[in-house]
Amino acid sequence: MQKVLLLVTILGVAGLDLLGQTKSHFTVKDDDSCEKIYFALKSATATCNIRTRNGEYPINILGTADLKYVDPEFGQNHSGKTLNAWLNLKDNGKENFGSKLSKLFGPKKTDNKNYWNIYFTDHKPYHLDLTYGLGKSYVDLSDIAVQHLSITSGNAHVKVGYHSKVRNRIEMDSFLVNVDLGDVEIDRLNLSRARVIMAEVGIGSLVLDFEEEPESGSEIWARVGAGTLSIKLPQYPIPMMVRVKNASYRKMKMPGHFEKIRDNVYVSSAYDPNAENLLTFNIDLSMGNVIFTED
């Protein structure tokens, strides 16, 4: 008999304490008929850590929720050969106004009462759609196969990277980042193997850190409003071209070896139009700042 994907949900009723906290465990078992996994996370205010872990489950989630503030919802379904799964950590509207203001305008802190660990494996390619409202979260994509990644931060601090210095198992089709009021840091972006990177920064900040020269090229499209986009490059020049759309409030900073070859187009001293690992930036800059540094 053909195996099917099983959703196992264990609500930690026994762990329910006087403060209204509950522990949850959600898992999905693998199936030969599944070729790709789509996972969507919507976190209103919790802390969510994503990382790689060996195991039989392509998705394994362990979490603690304070039910006074967060209502967790997990589900899954099949669409052809794709498994669709989602975790929605909804704000139930019971948090007082002062506490919400503190999270909105105060420092981003780890929420130990609403804390979730999400584990992926190297079983199948992933399509990830991650949306964060408030709080502080981490994503480690080392040694998994991410085909598409979308990250949205409302007013959250989100740190993404390849902390074990192990690259993406496959070429990534697209890497999308949208920052409103929050801040997002992406470390070792060179290990993502992303063909296309699209970034939009409103009032917040975004850091794209290419720690080393990438093995393959990327087309980077960025639109910056009143916020800041920082691009960190290796200490040595790498093949790059930067195109900038005219803007009256434009503020750009680039290393001294960059040369202007025509209006609004700059290239690094290592520029080679035929380089297989050429980084091409297309920047639409309004009132914010774009800063290139070599660390």
**Interacting residues of 260 by C-beta distance below 8 A, sequence separation 6+:** 266
Cα(241)–Cα(259) distance, integer angstroms: 10
CA 269 to chain centre: 31
Contact present, 141 and 188 (Cβ < 8 Å)? no
- The DSSP annotation for 260-290 comes to EEETTEEE-TT--TT-TT-EEEEEEESSSEE
The pLDDT assigned to 99 comes to 54
For residue 5, pLDDT over 80 is answered with: no
Among 49-53, 158-162, 231-235, 238-242, the range scoring the smallest mean pLDDT is: 49-53
pLDDT in tens, 188-215: 999 999 999 999 999 999 999 999 999 9
pLDDT in tens, 53-73: 888 888 999 999 888 888 899
pLDDT exceeding 70 applies to what percent of the chain? 85
pLDDT in tens, 117-148: 999 987 789 999 999 999 899 999 999 999 99
**DSSP label of 100:** H
Contact present, 120 and 126 (Cβ < 8 Å)? yes
- Type of residue found at 133: G
225-246 mean pLDDT? 94
228-251 mean pLDDT? 87
pLDDT in tens, 172-186: 999 999 999 999 999
Helix (H, G, I), strand (E, B) or coil at 189: helix
Name the residue ranges covered by the structural domains of the chain.
35-44+76-106+123-294
